[in-house]
Amino acid sequence: MTTMNAAGPGRLLVDGDGSAAWNMAVDQAIAESISVPAESDLPIGATLRFYTWAEPTLSLGYFQFARDASPRFDQIARVRRSTGGGAILHHHELTYSLTVPTNPGEHGARNDLYRGVHAAFVATLDCFGATTRPYLLDKRHQGQSDPFLCFQRRTDEDLILCGYKVLGSAQRRVRGAIMQHGSLLLRSSPFADELPGIFDLTSMEVGVTPIVKEVTARIGTSLNLSFAEGRLTTAERERAGGLVEQRFAADQWWSRR
C-alpha cells in the first residue's frame, strides 16, 4: 500500500463538462490551495477530481512546441497544460486529477503515485470486463523521437488494452504539493480515429459513474484515504476564474514555446 503525506480526509470532486481553460485552471487552483491554503480556508488535503470536456480539445504538454501541432487540429479548442507529456485530444474521455500534499524537501516524480493510481484503474477496468496491463518500456526503442500525441507514446506505467494505450498520466510539482493528471480514453474521436478507447476495444456496457465510484474507492485504499464528495472553496473558484483569463485562455500561454 502506498501512503503519502495528506492533511485530513480526501476530497472528491466529480464535475461535468468544462471548457479547456476552466478545466486546467481548476486543477491549478486546487494545487495552489493545497500548497498554500487561503487564510479563510481550512487546510485542504488530497483532492481527487474527475471531469469531462465541453468540446473536442487539443491540450499541449507544458514543454511541447505549439508549432508542432498538426493542422488537422486547427479548428478545435486548444490549451496548454501545466503538466508535461505529449499532446492529448480530449473528446470521448474521462479525465482525472489527483493533487496531494508533499513532505518538505521532496523532489522529482512520484513513481509510486503513478503506480498506485494506475493499479486502481487496472483493477477497476478488470471488474467491468476490460483487461489492461502496464506497458513495460522496450529498451530497444530508446532514443527515438516521441510522437506528438500522448496516446501514441509509451512509458512504463501506461495502461495498454489490445495493443492500444488507453490511460496515461503526467505530474507537476508546486511548492508543498504534487498534481497528477490522467486521461482514460472511452471512445475514439473523429479528430484522432487512430486512437480507440475502452468501449471500442471491448464489449463493456457500463457508464462512467460506476467507473468513477469504483476507481475512487481503489485509489483511496492505495493512498490510505477515505474520499468524501466535496466542492471547490470560494478561494479556489475565484483563483480558477483568474487563471482562465491570465493564463489558460491567453494566446501567450499557448504560444510560450
Question: Domain 10-254, what fold?
Answer: BirA Bifunctional Protein; domain 2 (3.30.930)
d(CA 16, CA 52): 6
Residue 141, pLDDT score: 44
Element (H, E) at 78: strand 77-80
Q: Which residue has the higher pLDDT, 6 or 176?
A: 176
- Which residues lie below 8 Å from residue 121, measured CB to CB, with a gap of 6+? 132, 159, 167, 184, 215
Q: Which residue has the higher pLDDT, 196 or 223?
A: 196
Task: Using pLDDT thresholds of 50, 70 and 90, give the confidence band for residue 36.
Answer: low
Across 200-225, average pLDDT? 94
Q: Which residue has the higher pLDDT, 107 or 184?
A: 184
d(CA 53, CA 36): 28
Output the nine-digit C-alpha cell for 42. Answer: 481550512
Task: Using pLDDT thresholds of 50, 70 and 90, give the confidence band for residue 107.
Answer: low
**pLDDT tens-digit series, residues 181-201:** 899 999 999 998 889 999 999
Output the nine-digit C-alpha cell for 250. Answer: 491567453
Contact predicate 58/89, CB 8 Å = yes
Across 137-155, average pLDDT? 47
Residue 71, pLDDT score: 81
Convert 137-162 to b/e letters by CB count within 10 Å (16 or more is b): eeeeeeeeeeebbbbebbbebbbbbe
Element (H, E) at 123: helix 111-127
**Least confident residue range of 61-65, 115-119, 138-142:** 138-142
Task: Using pLDDT thresholds of 50, 70 and 90, give the confidence band for residue 67.
Answer: confident
Per the DSSP assignment, residues forming a β-bridge with 159 are 134, 167
Residue 157, pLDDT score: 76
Tell me which long-range contacts 147-150 makes (C-beta under 8 A, separation of at least 24).
147/86, 148/64, 148/68, 148/69, 148/70, 148/86, 148/87, 149/86, 149/87, 149/88, 149/89, 149/192, 149/195, 150/61, 150/85, 150/86, 150/87, 150/88, 150/183
| Averaged confidence pLDDT in the chain | 84
Q: Which residue has the higher pLDDT, 195 or 148?
A: 195
Ramachandran angles phi, psi of 133, nearest 5°: -145, 150
Across 124-146, average pLDDT? 69
Classify 158 as helix, strand or coil: coil
Output the nine-digit C-alpha cell for 99. Answer: 493533487
Residue 136 reports pLDDT greater than 80: no
Q: Shortest CA distance to 177 belongs to which of 89, 65, 99, 105? A: 99
Amino acid at 72: R
Under DSSP, the state recorded for 255 is T
Residue 218 reports pLDDT greater than 90: yes
d(CA 145, CA 133): 24
Across 105-119, average pLDDT? 79
Across 116-127, average pLDDT? 95
